[in-house]
Amino acid sequence: MSPPPWQIGDRLIHRVNTDLGPGRVTAVKGRTLSVVFPFAGTSLSLIADPEVLAPLALSPGQRVVVEDDGSRGRLEKECDDGRWQLEDGRTLPAASLWPVAVGISPLERLAAGDIDNVEDFANRLDALLLRRIREARGLGSFLGGRIRLFPHQLYAAEQATRADPVRWLLADEVGLGKTVEACLVLNRLLHTGRAQRVLVVAPATLTVQWLGELWRKYHQVFVLLDDDRLQDVAREHGSDFNPFDVYRRVVVSLENLVANPRLTEQAVAVGIDLLVVDEAHHLRRPRGHPGNPAWRAVAPIAQQNNHVLLLTATPLEEDAHGFLRLIQLLHPASFPGEFDAAERLASGLPLPPCTTSTRRVDIGGFPPRRHLPVTVNDPAGWAALDALVESQRRLPVGAGGLRRKADHVRRALSSPAALAAVLTDLDQDLRAACLQAGRDDPRAQWLATKAREWKEAGEKTLVFVADRETLIALKQTLETVGRIRVGVFHEDLAPGRRDIEVAQFRMGSGLSLMISTECGGEGRNFEFCRRLVLFDLPWNPVMVEQRIGRLDRIGRDRDVEIVTFRPPGGLAAAISRLYEELGLYAEPMGGLDRELTRVEEGIREAALAPEETVDAARFLPLVREVRAARARVRDAAYHELHREPYSAEMAGSILARVPARLDELTEEVVAGGCRRLGFDTEQERGERVWALEFGSRALVDHLPGVVPGTRFLGTFDRACAVTREELDYFASGHPLVEGLLAELEDGVRGTVALLEMDGAGFAGFGLLALYQGEGDDEEAGFRALAVDAQGRPRPEWAQRLISPPLRTRRVRPEAWTRRRGWRELVEKMAAALPEHTVPTACAAFRFTRQDKEPAA
């Protein structure tokens, strides 16, 4: 039955925004009401929605103020004619009586009979349980990222956060997820309130990757504090204003920090809660030396009593001093003053409890890499490509200097299209040669033929190129010659378009091949691909490793096919042979930064030496150097010195402690909260994918962190979120999740309820009080207390009430609150609660013994 229409003079309460207090209808126009709220001092136009507006109800024992003279009293009983008798003997019309302080305390509201919808109370209780999981010392507080859960990463994060402050060195082998481990720690520190200001320092080549990882996987919005952003701060706030006061979560390149010493001073002045330093082995301080510029830029920030995470490659034996210096930076007491690194290692003493260094062998290893070199029998095609390379090697150094000449040689090695893009109008003959060589490129022709075969086999292939021009030319060849549709991924695509391209590529029925520039190596997950094709070879071996790392990732369950081309001669053939001799395609090259830098320098020198015919023999010294360094990494003594190292036997017990209901509970809180607030909600059939919109029909006009009109398409399922990156992941840190939790924490929705449920062996009447922000480590987030009608504590009742799911019969509020003695009963039970504390929410409840479970 529909509720009776509202009339002028009717009094009501706003079920969602109870802070308004009671209101009176002053005008009615269709379904729109004009309502004045005297206690709030405001007037609002509201839609006559029974889910939002309810008639004001009075109840015996309630304190009221008389509208005519402002006097106060307490209601005794309702008379037959609808008027109310007060305890002082007065009998007055109900319309002249206004409740006092409704909404100030949940207990007062309960005594006054001001009851919320039980669905809102259940939503609040679920949110408190979710906060408990997120804020407790268990694994729940680490989670929320769009990541697969690997036990060694959870182990490292738990080990690091045992102490306060957290000061830890993450030195896992490459590919095991040091960045993930750092973000797990960051998540915990943020969710438990142990950190607010966060500074990530990384080499310039990794800053964009950090921004992408933090946002796409962890819903964390960080700002890149580069020169342009610093100028914005100075222009908007003044040259003396501290940029770390404007931006609390920041990524800064190590190069920028070194070049701007004032940034270090400003970071120290403001106080950084968590400092994360990636590639920390770049921080060096020889004996008797104040440290290199990188050390001097970072050390003052790290030496504060704050949280610090250092991420470093597996160290070499000859750099023992540098490795131990990093530990000294974290824990100066362990290495006071100067020390002899060789003696310290020879002693066999374990390192201080501040390091983890997991190796691939510790987790059972990875599927093998399988290198598939391709030799294409097309002498004329290869000769045309080599002629372009040699034409650039022979050119004299012009106005652009050696850097410009090196770039031209590199582009010629990549593709004729990449070289043509930087030629001038005077190079018409060379441009024509590029056009012809591009048509006949043996690599592109071979790939066009194989791509069709791979598509028919249902296999996904990722092709890496260095330049966008190469990408465009190769795409055209594959689509015209190979007659297949090709996906693209490059830096000029908007972030949203990149997500769409990857999503279409990931679909089983979608594109079979994608071409990507280097930006595809920045944090994207392509492990679903069968193979990787390196169409060209960067001069920097680390970039080759980054390309391979998009497929060769932890959790992959099949071997990685790596396709490269073997030119018959020239500089391209020498580089191809060099990388094979280095073993670059066989296993990762972690801890070899210094040696790999020399490889890049060696290639560059060969490219700029036009008088020489380059062959593989030129690079033999580099090969020997890298091989020797790799052997030393394998045999490094550090592996035996880390305390409590991870082992594969720990995996089962760690994963068993992952909260089983975390995603499910998040879904109940968020989807339920959206429905209660009138958001537009739609779930995909058979999927845990939801469309959630803060639409025009919402019952609130504000939600923290969410702009009205915003529409989200996402999932609550971790596995789905990992594979479908185009979807939002509704988890800790997501603005909608945090906004709904904040709405419940800051508001009064669902703070008072009446419950009637099967007691599962219990019977009786009582009061449940919920206290937010209290509890020990096992009950982080909130504490639940229950007392019976005699005021006796009933902890077993409290546990029954807060154990999900909350299954209760719907109680008509007047059936309980209009009974004589209701207020006195509530006040008696409330008196048994701890003094000087006000519960966040409360509920009167009745347990019944029944064989049949009550309806939800």
Instruction: Please state the φ and ψ torsions of residue 49, each to the nearest 5 degrees.
Output: -100, 120
Asked whether the beta carbons of 118 and 810 are under 8 A apart, the reply is: yes
pLDDT tier at 422 (50, 70, 90 boundaries)? very high
How many other CB atoms are there within 10 angstroms of residue 510's CB atom? 15
**DSSP string across 450-508:** HHHHHHHTT--EEEE-S-HHHHHHHHHHHHHTS----EEE-TTS-HHHHHHHHHHHHST
Q: What is the pLDDT of residues 781-833, one digit of tens each?
A: 689 999 999 999 999 999 999 998 888 998 999 999 988 999 999 999 999 99
User: In this predicted structure, what is the pLDDT of residue 499?
Assistant: 78
Higher pLDDT, 774 or 761: 761
For residues 251-270, average pLDDT: 96
For residues 49-77, average pLDDT: 82
Total length of the chain: 856
For residues 68-97, average pLDDT: 87
Res. 565: pLDDT tops 90? yes
Asked whether the beta carbons of 834 and 794 are under 8 A apart, the reply is: no
User: In this predicted structure, what is the pLDDT of residue 787?
Assistant: 97
Burial class (CB in 10 A: 0-12, 13-18, 19+), 713: middle
Three-point CA angle 235, 240, 245, nearest 5°: 85
User: In this predicted structure, what is the pLDDT of residue 50?
Assistant: 82
- Return the HEC string of 133-178: HHHCCCHHHHCCCCCCCCHHHHHHHHHHCCCCCCEEEECCCCCCCH
Burial class (CB in 10 A: 0-12, 13-18, 19+), 656: exposed
Helix, strand, or coil (residue 12): strand
pLDDT tier at 645 (50, 70, 90 boundaries)? confident
Using CA atoms, how far apart are residues 339 and 322, in angstroms rounded to an integer?
Answer: 11
Every domain of the chain with CATH number 3.40.50.10810 lies at 140-357
Using CA atoms, how far apart are residues 514 and 520, in angstroms rounded to an integer?
Answer: 10
- Return the HEC string of 739-763: HHHHHHHHCCCCCEEEEEEECCCCC
Element (H, E) at 253: strand 249-253
Asked whether the beta carbons of 99 and 56 are under 8 A apart, the reply is: yes
Element (H, E) at 621: helix 620-634
User: In this predicted structure, what is the pLDDT of residue 613?
Assistant: 79
Helix, strand, or coil (residue 77): strand
Using CA atoms, how far apart are residues 472 and 470, in angstroms rounded to an integer?
Answer: 6
Res. 136: pLDDT tops 90? no
For residues 586-613, average pLDDT: 82
How many other CB atoms are there within 10 angstroms of residue 605's CB atom? 13
Q: What is the pLDDT of residues 279-316, one digit of tens each?
A: 898 898 888 888 899 999 999 999 998 999 999 876 54
State the amino acid at position 81 in one-letter form: D
**DSSP string across 801-824:** HHSSS---B---HHHHHTSTTHHH
Percent of the chain with pLDDT over 70: 93
Check the CA dihedral 664-666-669-674 and report its sign: negative
Using CA atoms, how far apart are residues 324 and 316, in angstroms rounded to an integer?
Answer: 12
Q: What is the pLDDT of residues 514-524, one digit of tens each?
A: 999 987 655 56
Q: What is the pLDDT of residues 731-766, one digit of tens each?
A: 988 999 999 998 888 788 899 999 999 887 889 999
Task: Supply the DSSP symbol for 791.
Answer: S
User: In this predicted structure, what is the pLDDT of residue 192?
Assistant: 80
User: In this predicted structure, what is the pLDDT of residue 122?
Assistant: 95
Name, of 100-114, 460-474, 612-626, the range with top average pLDDT.
460-474
Bridge-partner residues for 78, per DSSP?
A: 84
- Return the HEC string of 195-249: CCCEEEEECHHHHHHHHHHHHHHHCCCCEECCHHHHHHHHHHHCCCCCHHHHCCE
**DSSP string across 687-709:** SSEEEEE--TT-S-S-BTTB-TT
Helix, strand, or coil (residue 90): coil
User: In this predicted structure, what is the pLDDT of residue 442?
Assistant: 97
Q: What is the pLDDT of residues 595-605, one digit of tens each?
A: 888 899 999 99
Name, of 43-57, 87-101, 717-731, 815-829, the range with top average pLDDT.
815-829
Using CA atoms, how far apart are residues 130 and 668, in angstroms rounded to an integer?
Answer: 10
State the amino acid at position 273 in one-letter form: D
Give the pair of three-digit tokens for residue 151. 């036990």
Percent of the chain with pLDDT over 90: 48
CATH number of 140-357: 3.40.50.10810
Every domain of the chain with CATH number 3.30.360.80 lies at 662-746
Asked whether the beta carbons of 712 and 680 are under 8 A apart, the reply is: no
User: In this predicted structure, what is the pLDDT of residue 321?
Assistant: 74
Asked whether the beta carbons of 690 and 715 are under 8 A apart, the reply is: yes
CATH number among 1.10.3720.10, 3.30.360.80, 3.30.70.270, 3.20.20.70, domain 662-746: 3.30.360.80
Using CA atoms, how far apart are residues 765 and 784, in angstroms rounded to an integer?
Answer: 16
Burial class (CB in 10 A: 0-12, 13-18, 19+), 194: middle
For residues 257-282, average pLDDT: 94
Q: Which of 251-260, 309-318, 382-391 has the lowest mean pLDDT?
A: 309-318
To the nearest 10°, report the CA torsion of 291, 295, 301, 307.
-120
